Amino acid sequence: MAKGVLCDANKCIGCRTCQVACKQWNELPTMEMVKDGVLQERPKDWVNSGTLENPPQLSADTFTKVRFREVEHDGKFHWVFAKIQCMHCEEPACAEACLVGALEKTKDGPVTYDDRKCIGCRYCMMACPFGVPTFEWEKRWPWIRKCTFCADRQGGGLEPACVTTCPTGALKFGEREDLIVEARERIAARPDEYVDYIYGEREVGGTSWLYLSPVPFEKLDFPTLGTEKVTINPERAMSAVPPALVAVAALMAGFYWLTKRRQKLSQASAGDQEEKEEVTK
Amino acid sequence: MMQERRSFPLGTLILTAVAVLGLGVIMYRYLNGLGAITDLSDGRAWGLWISFDLYCGVALAAGGFTLAGAVYIFGRRTYYPIVRSAILTAFLGYTLVILALLVDLGQPWYIWHALIYWNPHSPLFEVAMCVMTYTIVLALEFSPAVFERLNWRVPLAAIRAIQIPLVIAGIVLSTLHQSSLGSMLLMMPETLDPLWYTPILPLLFLFSAIAVGPAMVIFESTLSSRAFGHRLGADILAGLGRAIPYILGIYLVFKLGDLVVSKELGLIVSDSPHTILWWVEVLGGVVLPIIFLSRASVRQSKTKLFWCAVLVAGGLVLNRFNVSWLALGGREGYFYFPHWMEFAASAGLVAWAIIIVMLANRLLPIIHHEEVAEKVPGEPIDTTQLAARGGQVFEGS
């Protein structure tokens, strides 16, 4: 059975302790805004939304962050917090894309990354429908970085660091199947507080991380995705490769044989003509 | 004329400067990381190098397998005099692609991992395998020119003995990876504009590559015949021009047919800026060349033929830029425009390739121009000369 996390935006208070716990466990540096008492110049693409959301984007040093959104829904104002990180897809595009198989969906749930295989092509970053994997652009020896679902902690029987530290129970770790059942129960118990939708249950074939929200997910800037796994068309194309290989090779050999045969015939007929000419002489 | 070419012309000087600057930029990248010389970001992980060097580079090098196929498999011996230069430019094109990837990859020193860690599900894996193998095939296909120059008879005989299997291998490998470059983008149904995203993208990639093959041969042969003073029979390039409308026609039918079948034809009149890109690509790079090249008067004029080839190649370049960059959505909150050093690195690599082509044309027997007499258009082809050439083509096979 695969693990998952249920993230309930109604229970999240936006304290961002999960961000801190993630940095601590993964030994990620903070973004230094003040150096030697001087406020540093902000990165050129630094766009904060004006609330307490910080930093602006996931990056090689930030595997998770809480997204803050001020949303009007059904005539009511909502200040919604949603933790974002790798969704750990059931059918991950990144793993399908990776030519060396550095990314892998494990049977326990996490999509793991092996930097001993990676060559840094960044196809995973392009393929991910959630825009999650990041890259160490400034390093001479750069790797792909993303949330690991604390696979190392899970291996030791622990919950992910963010779940352990969450003070309100907004994050719940467990079997993915059980979490879906619980999510349904929560919606049924308070239908006026939740939209009747579990984000991640079916998106691109399902994800290990599941979300509940008081407002529609597109208002939280969650990508609106189909239920079909995104790898379906490349899979079809790749399965056509072996037959295409054989067919093209056979076809070309056939054409070559025809060409040779036509040449032989035309040479033979030319030879006949010469002979005839000689005879008539 | 001769006097002029012996001196060190301005063009060569500029070319050398661009090549050296490119080399400098690439060194700088290895010392300081990708972030130092590119405008790439987490929001746009692939940029100019993937669009231009990989996507356009591989497609524009399609002249090698299309011409080798026409000459050796389909027996079109008319094109024999230019097949060698087509194979050389294809070989250099692929070498360029690999060198550019060595700049673009985060861990270029681990590129050999592709050989030992296989993920056969990945379209990129197939591209990597095919590009590597095909580059070796192209080197072997071109090697007779070197062996002839050095007068090495044994390796020459060996290559001649496996010539046909090599050509077939080249066609198979090209079919696979030209289409797989399209399959790679199938992984992005959510970000690639539906005007371009289609399950038959691999097929469209293959057709457009086959169409641009002869166009690039026309383009390069015209330029090199001017630069090196080779004389080419007018019928040779005109014949290539005749083939292009048919291939582009099939491509267009599939491209439009797909939009009709998927009921997305309305997209071509929507008011998104992508629509303009689509129209420029399809009208300029497909429809116009089909119309022009269907006219004998255009094909017989070297200048008009050349400009038609430029249209076809330009349309292909725009198509590849569209699917791998312009019509491919990035992440929210990021903007990408290539850093000047990205342009410098790409231009530098192209400059190196041109320099090598120039050297090869001086040092190696690329074009058998003594065999090719300038022909008056419409004059029947001299069969004795053809037979003589044909004998050489199939020698040892």
Phi-psi group of B379: left, alpha or beta (phi > 0 → left; psi -120 to 50 → alpha; rest → beta): beta
**A58-84 average pLDDT score:** 93
Q: What percent of chain A has pLDDT over 90?
A: 83
Sign of the alpha-carbon torsion through B281, B282, B283, B284: positive
CB-based contact, B47 to chain A, within 8 Å: no
Give first-to-last CA distance, chain B, whole Å.
40
**A27-35 average pLDDT score:** 80
Minimum distance, in Å, between the CA of residue A134 and any CA atom of chain B: 5
Q: Could you report the predicted ipTM of this complex, rounded to two decimals?
A: 0.89
pLDDT of residue B368: 54
Minimum distance, in Å, between the CA of residue A171 and any CA atom of chain B: 25
**A180-209 average pLDDT score:** 97
pLDDT of residue B271: 87
Minimum distance, in Å, between the CA of residue A104 and any CA atom of chain B: 10
pTM, entire model: 0.89
Minimum distance, in Å, between the CA of residue A45 and any CA atom of chain B: 7
Picking from A102, A119, A126, the nearest residue to B111 by CB comes out as A119
Chain B CB contacts of A240 below 8 Å? 202
Q: Is B225 helix (H, G, I), strand (E, B) or coil?
A: helix
Question: With a CB-CB cutoff of 8 Å, which residues 202-221 of chain B face chain A?
Answer: 202
Inter-chain touch B124–A117, beta carbons under 8 Å: no
CB-based contact, B36 to chain A, within 8 Å: yes
Within 10 A of B19 (CB to CB), how many other CB atoms are there?
Answer: 19
pLDDT of residue A50: 58
In chain A, which residue's Cα lies nearest the Cα of B203? A237
**A177-199 average pLDDT score:** 97
Minimum distance, in Å, between the CA of residue A220 and any CA atom of chain B: 13
Q: Which residues lie below 8 Å from residue B242, measured CB to CB, with a gap of 6+?
A: B293, B299
Distances (CA, A) of B173 to B119, B126, B164: 18, 10, 14
* The listed CATH number (3.30.70.20, 3.30.1220.10, 2.30.110.10, 3.90.1300.10) that belongs to domain A3-30+41-230: 3.30.70.20
pLDDT of residue A51: 66
Inter-chain touch B117–A134, beta carbons under 8 Å: no
Six-digit token pair at B190? 């959510």
The beta-carbon contacts of B215-218 under 8 Å, at least 24 apart in sequence, are B215/B240, B215/B244, B215/B289, B215/B308, B215/B309, B215/B312, B215/B313, B215/B316, B216/B60, B216/B61, B216/B62, B216/B63, B216/B89, B216/B309, B216/B313, B217/B63, B217/B66, B217/B67, B217/B82, B217/B86, B218/B305, B218/B306, B218/B308, B218/B309
Chain B CB contacts of A134 below 8 Å? 42
Inter-chain touch A262–B75, beta carbons under 8 Å: yes
Give φ, ψ of B368 to 5 degrees.
Answer: -85, 75
H or E stretch covering A80: strand A76-84
pLDDT of residue B369: 44
Within A125-200, strands assigned E span: 134-135, 144-145, 171-175
In chain A, which residue's Cα lies nearest the Cα of B128? A99
Q: Mean pLDDT of residues grouped by 10 in chain B (397 residues)?
A: 57 93 96 94 96 97 96 92 91 94 95 94 96 96 92 93 95 96 96 95 97 96 83 83 96 97 91 94 97 94 95 98 95 92 97 90 70 42 43 39
CB-based contact, B288 to chain A, within 8 Å: no
Inter-chain touch A236–B199, beta carbons under 8 Å: yes
In chain B, which residue's Cα lies nearest the Cα of A59? B42
Six-digit token pair at B296? 């004998």
Chain A CB contacts of B108 below 8 Å? 119-120
In the block, tokens 């700049």 appear at: B103
Q: How far apart are CA B5 and CA B2, in angstroms?
A: 5
